[in-house]
Amino acid sequence: MSDDSTYVDPDPQQFAIFKDLDRDQPIHMLNMLRFKERATYPTDHPRAGEALSGAQAYEFYGVDSGPIFQRVGGSIVWRGEFQATVIGPGDERWDSIFIARYPTAHAFLKMVTDPDYRIAVVNRQAAVLTSRLIRLSSSDIGDTF
């Protein structure tokens, strides 16, 4: 995977599009993550000297951000293991894939602006090599595509 495909934090233009969408409906966020072999913390972070893998740093992110995620009404509605890409770039692989549900987009925004979350997200930034975060709305389900 080339360096130009590294996505860790929201792009301001993409985040503006997110914020312009209806905020009063439930949303699902598809998360696809590839971890660094070694976590890279800022030099002034308490974990900077620890030899942690990206996966371990992401576990810290989960522990630290979990209470905030739950407080805003978030839940994980699906989690799975990457097996193979059938259509798409053949060099993409994902270490973690899950779908998080939020009662509203307001809840997601409340989470990411929470002061404690802003501290916790440093673990995510240290852990993730590249990621995709895709906002989804619910649609009717049935027996056809």
Q: Over the stretch 17-44, which tens digit does the pLDDT of each residue have? A: 999 999 999 999 999 999 999 999 999 9
Share of the chain above pLDDT 90, in %: 90
Average pLDDT, the chain: 94
- Full-model pTM: 0.91
For residue 1, pLDDT beyond 50: no
| CATH number belonging to domain 26-136 | 3.30.70.100
Domain ranges of the chain: 26-136
Could you identify the residue written with the tokens 């371990």? 56
Positive or negative torsion for Cα 31, 32, 35, 41:
negative
Q: Are 77 and 101 in contact (CB under 8 A)?
A: yes
For residue 4, pLDDT beyond 60: no
DSSP count for the chain of H helices, then E strands: 4, 4
